[in-house]
Structure 1
Amino acid sequence: MLALGDLVHSLGIDPLVDGLYVLTKKEHELKPQTPTIIVLPQSNINLILRSIKQHYPPGCEVLGVDDAGSMSKWMLSELDEAPLGKFRYIFLQAVSWENDLRNFDALRRIVKHLRAPDGCPWDREQTHESLGQYLLEETYEALEELDKGNIDEFSNELGDVLLQIVLHSEIASEVDRFNISDVILAINEKLVRRHPHVFGDMQVDTKEEVLANWEIQKTQERGGASLMEGVPPSLPALAYGQRVQERASGIGFDWEHIEDVETKIREEIEEFIKASSMKERELEFGDVLFTLVNLGRHLNFDVERSLRQANTKFVQRFQMMEKIAEEANLSFANLSLDEKEQIWIKVKDLEEG
């Protein structure tokens, strides 16, 4: 049987110079930037194959080594046909980031180069403040594709969001404030800390218990500050309303039954109708909206998404109305309200039929 040390010697690898990663269990994650030896298991080889395909580019070479030290080489694209069952080891050369643009390190290096003196003039000039709008815009573009059900485009838009995170991290690292590793460390620590039922000894049985413990953890982290601190005021108003209601609900300040919320909506509408001035009506109108958010929250709706869907539906119907008028050689803007209403009904009938 070929010993691991003999294999390393025959491959001409110096672990102190080249680095070396040895994977002996199928649950270990591959590291394409480091020369890797995989000790093949006696079963579940397909899991190893799937992992290699996920982490390595199609053009990389795969070396199989049997117990006698005999070697066979394939391209990754040929691996499905390779008789891996008769081999003890698989060896994979390190893949440079330039040859594997799927790798996160490639994104980090590209952004670093863009910010370098010989990089891009526009990227070099950017600051946290100048990029702030793009972080919000890219997030909304991702949500738009999600709402449309365009998963491929959603994936692309998530990449644009990720770019903003890496850009901000690179800008901060240039003045020794933080870097992308600090960002990842912070969220990893937070996830472990806020999931003691997964990474600790706490026992929970329901989603509600998980959410209640999540709020307790956040309260402890705030060190006595208000429960409402940490909800960004810059959030869209509907989303902000839903988040502050969720926080209040997390400590038991909430309607017990959805019927109570429905009753409250009727009360708020009545108060809006009875308001004696426009200023008072505006305030009462806000109360109506806030209570409608409460109803959506009790129904487990994302109220921002609900309104986005309604907006999209209206815009699509309106554009169809314009098209119908144009095809009839009519000026849509000059049609009477009754004529526009008839086209609106026609559009709804087309949707339903």
Structure 2
Amino acid sequence: MTDLSSNNMPSTSPVPGTPPDPKQLGPKFRELCEVVARLRSSTGCPWDRQQTLESIKPYTLEETYELLEAIDSGNDAEIVEELGDVLLQVVLDSQIAADEARFNLTDVVDGLTQKMIRRHPHVFGDVAADSSHEINRNWDRIKQEEKQRDSIFDGLPAALPSLARAARLSKKAARVGYDFPQRAMLFDKLQEELRELADELFPNGEIPVVAASVDLPVEPDPEPFDAARQQRIESELGDVLFVLANIARRWHVNPEEALRASNAKFQRRVEFIERRLKEHGRDIRTATLEEMEQFYQEGKRLEKANARDPQQDNENTSK
């Protein structure tokens, strides 16, 4: 883990927009490039030598997600480490390409620098832009001129997680005016999509009114529907998720981040159930639904209490 106490950060408050000291960064970055080049050399590491741009793609994706987790943790030392791993992917990819006489890291850095200057004419040129909307419109226009793309969706990565891609698709459509005039209209659209989903799931489209409770008997999962109906259900559920992604966008929420946070919250609370059951000599696999729900609600109450008072006795988090 990186020791942040020795990173030569100034003791005074940083001035926003100040670049790193080249006397410090230059030698460190050169050393990193030399280490990666050495690993790829004939006297280096056999694993690094055999890598290609295609073979290390999974590691690039993995390191990106690990960086997201580090940012969520708020731990600066972990963020520094994971940023380093992402930077390694850039340096290693560029070294592989240089070894194959395709391009090198200098091309990557220079290309990025020039692109950032071109796409910010309101900063580096004489274009006026007084709002985020104008900045985004200029960015899209310049990007369209550079890429010579036919569709507003060209360039959107197909490998994006589907929820994030839904938000990006609707955002690109909205930038050319294809959007609901008022964002509250999306809730009417959501109700429409839920009704269409219900039509496929329940007789006559009537959703049974059943209060969320653990007191009722457990209903077994039904047998799968025929393939055609299952496909229709999948399509309608996809429409519901797409509208939810749209709602998130209009209220300036990243739906992928929102779902990641909810996933982490659910996992954390179920792990709390596991710990509490172990304290009672029980295993979650044999616990009743009522017991699990009791501890779930206890963990939920403790989380909310700790959120209100972060200095609360640590005894709560160890229960």
Ranked by relative contact order (alpha carbons within 8 Å, sequence separation 6 or more), the top structure is 2
TM-superposed deviation, 1:56: 4.7
Aligned to 2:264: 312
Q: 2:246 aligned to 275, 282, 294, which one? A: 294
The structure whose Rg is larger is 1
Q: 1:337 aligns with which of 278, 282, 289?
A: 289
Aligned counterparts, 1:175-214, within 5 A: 175-214=100-139
Query: Which of these residues, 285, 290, 300, is aligned with residue 348 of structure 1?
Result: 300
Counterpart AA for 1:333: R
Deviation digits for residues 124-176 of structure 1, max 9, x if unmatched?
11111111100000000000111121222111101100000110100101121
Q: CA deviation at 1:218?
A: 1.7
Q: 1:55 to 1:181 in 2, by over 3 A?
A: closer
2:280 and 2:95 map into 1 onto residues whose CA distance is: 56
Larger strand percent: 1
2:89 to 164, 181, 195: 164
Which sits farther off after the overlay, 317-326 or 184-193?
A: 184-193
| Structure 1 outlier segments of 4+, above 4 Å | 53-57
Percent identity (aligned): 39
Which residue matches 1:31? none
What is the match of residue 243 of structure 1?
A: 168
In the TM superposition, 1:97-246 aligns within 5 A as: 100=27, 103-246=28-171
Unpaired runs of at least 5, structure 1: 1-46, 58-94
8 Å CA contact 1:145–1:153 kept in 2: the answer is: yes
Measure, in 1, the Cα distance between the counterparts of 2:40 and 2:110: 23
Q: How many residues align?
A: 262
| Mapped contact 1:215–1:247 kept (Cα < 8 A) | no
Which position in structure 1 is the counterpart of 2:233?
281
Task: State the TM-score, normalized to the length of structure 1.
Answer: 0.70
The CA RMSD over aligned residues, in Å, is: 2.1
Distance 1:224 1:119, change over 3 A: closer
Give the letter for the 2:232 counterpart.
Answer: E
Amino acid at match of 2:163: L
Matched with 1:62 is none
Q: What's the CA shift for 1:302?
A: 1.5
Q: Matches of 2:23 and 2:290 in 1, distance apart?
A: 63
Cα separation, 2, equivalents of 1:256 and 1:266: 18
